[in-house]
C-alpha cells in the first residue's frame, strides 16, 4: 500500500476514526493492528519476520539490561540477529555475485543460491531501529516494559517502510501518554500530507520520466545534457523522499504523534559536512551515533578519524542497496568528507582564503560547488551500473559545452518532454531548473519554520484546496513507487 494511492486514502481515515473513538487503553493496539495490516497488504508472510525480530529484540533488551556479567554477549547476539537478518535478505545475492567474480579467474565453479530471496519492505529501516534500541539499553537507558508500545515503535505504519529512523526515547513516551489532537494539529497534519503528495506526484513523478531518458541511454546525449539530467535527478530524489517524509509526519500527526524532520534545505549546504547535517538527517545521525563514534569517532588521530569517516560513509552507501554503485557512492561521500576536513584546515591557515569564503560571493560559490559535487555523487547513485555512471561522468567532466551542444540539448530535452503529461509546465529546461531550485527553497522553508502550523485557518483551507486541485489535475497517469521503498 503506497501513500500516493486510493487504498491509503481510504485506509488512513478509517484508522483515524477507529483510533479516536476508542478508549485510550485500546489505541496502541488499534495502531499496532493497523500497522501490521498495512504491512501485510504487500506480502502477508513477512509479518512473521517483523514479529520475530520484535520479540527477539524486546527480550534481548531486558537481557542486556539485567545481566552485568554477560551484558556484552547479549548485545552481540542482538546485533548479530539484526545484521544477520539484514545480510541474508538484502546482501545474499550481492555476496554470491562478488564471490563468483573472485572465483571465475581461478577456474572454480560459480556459487549460486538454490532459492529466490525476496527483500522485505522497510527492513533496512526497522533493523536500524532495533539496533539503536539494544545499543542504547546497553549504554544505560531503561528497556521498554510495554510490549505493544515497543512493537508499535518498530512497525508504526507512517514510518514503517522508509523512515524517518526513530529514536525510542523520543517516540515511546508519546505512545504511553494520553493522545491529544487539536483542530490546529489536524489542519497541520492534512496540510503536510497534501504538501508531500504535491512534492511526490506533481514534481518527483514527472521528473522521473525525464530522468529515465537520460540515465538509460547516456550515449545519446552531450556532457551538458547529462549535467541537466543529473540536476533533475537531484531534485527528483529530494522531492520524492522529502515528500514521503511529509506524508509520514502528517499521518503521524493525525494520531497526536510527532515524527522528526528528515530534511533541512540540503541543497543550500555550504560544504559536504553541512549537506549531511541537512540530508536524510535520521540516517546520518544514526551512522554517527552507532557506527562512526563506536569506531573511535574523531577522538583518534587525524588519519584514523579519516579512516572512520570513509568506513562509515561506505557502509552507509551499501545500506542503500546491495550493488557496487551504492558502495562507490558511499565511498565517494567519505572521500569528500575527508577532502573537506583537509581543505578546512588549509583555509584556516590562510587568512586571505578564509576572508574570501566569508564574503557573500564566497558563500554563494560554496553552495554552488557543494551542489555540483553532490550531483556527481547522484550519478553513481542513480546509474544502474558503475560502467554507466563512469560513461556519464566522463562526458560531463571532459566535454566543454559548445553552441551546437546547447542547441542539441534543447532539442533532445524537447524530445523527452512529450513523455510527461503536461509539458507546458516545462516550457524549457532552462526555466525548469530554476523553478525546482525555488521550490526546494520555498518548501524547505515551510518545513523549517513550521509555517503551515502557524498559518491562519483560512490560509490552511486555501492551501489544502490548491494542493488537491494541483495534485488531481497535473499528476501523471502512473505514479512510480517512492525511491526509498527499495531500500
Q: What global pTM score does this model have?
A: 0.87
Q: Cβ atoms within 10 A of the Cβ of 171, count?
A: 21
What pLDDT score does 433 carry?
72
Q: Are the CB atoms for 166 and 84 separated by under 8 Å? A: no
Q: Are the CB atoms for 266 and 467 separated by under 8 Å? A: no
Per-residue pLDDT of the chain (487 residues; tens, 9 = 90+): 788 788 898 999 999 999 999 998 899 999 999 999 999 998 899 999 999 999 999 999 999 999 888 999 999 999 999 999 999 999 887 777 776 767 666 666 666 666 678 889 999 999 999 999 999 999 999 999 999 999 999 999 999 998 899 999 999 988 888 888 888 888 889 888 988 988 888 888 888 888 888 888 888 888 888 898 999 999 999 999 999 999 999 999 999 999 988 999 999 999 999 999 999 999 999 999 999 999 998 888 889 999 999 999 999 999 998 889 999 999 999 999 999 999 998 888 888 888 888 899 999 999 999 999 999 999 999 998 888 999 999 999 875 444 445 445 555 545 544 444 433 333 445 567 777 777 777 776 666 666 666 667 677 677 677 767 666 666 666 666 666 666 5
What count of Cα atoms within 13 Å lies in the side-chain half-sphere of residue 167?
Answer: 15
What pLDDT score does 425 carry?
35
Q: Which of 132, 320, 325, 440 is catalytic?
A: 320
Q: How far apart are CA 76 and CA 95, in angstroms?
A: 22
pLDDT tens for each residue of 153-205: 999 999 999 889 999 999 998 888 888 888 888 888 988 898 898 888 888 88
Q: Where are the domains of the chain?
A: 6-179, 185-486
Sorted by sequence, the CB contacts under 8 Å of residue 437 that are 6+ apart come out as 235, 267
What count of Cα atoms within 13 Å lies in the side-chain half-sphere of residue 153?
Answer: 31
What pLDDT score does 91 carry?
86
pLDDT tens for each residue of 329-368: 999 999 999 999 999 988 888 888 888 888 999 999 999 9
Q: Are the CB atoms for 178 and 19 separated by under 8 Å? A: no
Q: Are the CB atoms for 125 and 165 separated by under 8 Å? A: yes
Q: How far apart are CA 29 and CA 19, in angstroms?
A: 9
Q: How far is CA 166 from CA 125, 133, 233, 282, 290, in A?
A: 9, 10, 27, 7, 13
Question: Is residue 132 among the annotated active site residues?
Answer: no
What pLDDT score does 477 carry?
60
Which ranges in 254-359 belong to alpha helices (H)?
A: 272-278, 281-287, 302-320, 324-349, 351-358
Helix, strand, or coil (residue 397):
helix
Amino acid at each position: 500500500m503506497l501513500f500516493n494511492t486510493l487504498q491509503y486514502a481510504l485506509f488512513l481515515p478509517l484508522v483515524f476514526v477507529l483510533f479516536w473513538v476508542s478508549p485510550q487503553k485500546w489505541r496502541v493496539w488499534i495502531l499496532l493492528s493497523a500497522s501490521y495490516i498495512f504491512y501485510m497488504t504487500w506480502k502477508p508472510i513477512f509479518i512473521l519476520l517483523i514479529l520475530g525480530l520484535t520479540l527477539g529484540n524486546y527480550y534481548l533488551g531486558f537481557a542486556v539490561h539485567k545481566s552485568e556479567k554477560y551484558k556484552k554477549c547479549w548485545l552481540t547476539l542482538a546485533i548479530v540477529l539484526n545484521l544477520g537478518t539484514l545480510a541474508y535478505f538484502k546482501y545474499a545475492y550481492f555476496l554470491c555475485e562478488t564471490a563468483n567474480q573472485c572465483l571465475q579467474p581461478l577456474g572454480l565453479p560459480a556459487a549460486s543460491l538454490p532459492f529466490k530471496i525476496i527483500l522485505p519492505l522497510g527492513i533496512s529501516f526497522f533493523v536500524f531501529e532495533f539496533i539503536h534500541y539494544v545499543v542504547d539499553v546497553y549504554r544505560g537507558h531503561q528497556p521498554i516494559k510495554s510490549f505493544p508500545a515497543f512493537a508499535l515503535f518498530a512497525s508504526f505504519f507512517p514510518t514503517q517502510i522508509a523512515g524517518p529512523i526513530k529514536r525510542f526515547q523520543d517516540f515511546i513516551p508519546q505512545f504511553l501518554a494520553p493522545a491529544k489532537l487539536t483542530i490546529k494539529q489536524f489542519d497541520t497534519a492534512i496540510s503536510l500530507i497534501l504538501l508531500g503528495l504535491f512534492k511526490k506526484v506533481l514534481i518527483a513523478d514527472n521528473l522521473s520520466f525525464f530522468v529515465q531518458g537520460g540515465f538509460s541511454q547516456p550515449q545519446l546525449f552531450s556532457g551538458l545534457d547529462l549535467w541537466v539530467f543529473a540536476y533533475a535527478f537531484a531534485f527528483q530524489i529530494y522531492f520524492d523522499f522529502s515528500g514521503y517524509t511529509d506524508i509520514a509526519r502528517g499521518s503521524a500527526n493525525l494520531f497526536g504523534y510527532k515524527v522528526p524532520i528528515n530534511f533541512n534545505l540540503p541543497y543550500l549546504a555550504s560544504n559536504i559536512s553541512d549537506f549531511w547535517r541537512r540530508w536524510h538527517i535520521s540516517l546520518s545521525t544514526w551512522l554517527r551515533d552507532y557506527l562512526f563514534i563506536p569506531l573511535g569517532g574523531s577522538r583518534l588521530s587525524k588519519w584514523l578519524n579519516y579512516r572512520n569517516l570513509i568506513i562509515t560513509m561506505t557502509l552507509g552507501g551499501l545500506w542503500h542497496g546491495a550493488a557496487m554503485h551504492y558502495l562507490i557512492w558511499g565511498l565517494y561521500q567519505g572521500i569528500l568528507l575527508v577532502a573537506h576536513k583537509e581543505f578546512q584546515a588549509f583555509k584556516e591557515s590562510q587568512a586571505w582564503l578564509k576572508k574570501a569564503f566569508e564574503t557573500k560571493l564566497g558563500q554563494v560559490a560554496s553552495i554552488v560547488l557543494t551542489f555540483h559535487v553532490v550531483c556527481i555523487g547522484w550519478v553513481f547513485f542513480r546509474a544502474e551500473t558503475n560502467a554507466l555512471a563512469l560513461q556519464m561522468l566522463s562526458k560531463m567532466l571532459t566535454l566543454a559545452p559548445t553552441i551546437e551542444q546547447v542547441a542539441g540539448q534543447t532539442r533532445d530535452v524537447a524530445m523527452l518532454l512529450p513523455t510527461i503529461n503536461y509539458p507546458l509546465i516545462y516550457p524549457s529546461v532552462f526555466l525548469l531548473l530554476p523553478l525546482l531550485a525555488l521550490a526546494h527553497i520555498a518548501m524547505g522553508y515551510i518545513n523549517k519554520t513550521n509555517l503551515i502550523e502557524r498559518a491562519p485557518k483560512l490560509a490552511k483551507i486555501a492551501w489544502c484546496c490548491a494542493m488537491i486541485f494541483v495534485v488531481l489535475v497535473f499528476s501523471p497517469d502512473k505514479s512510480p513507487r517512492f525511491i526509498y521503498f527499495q531500500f
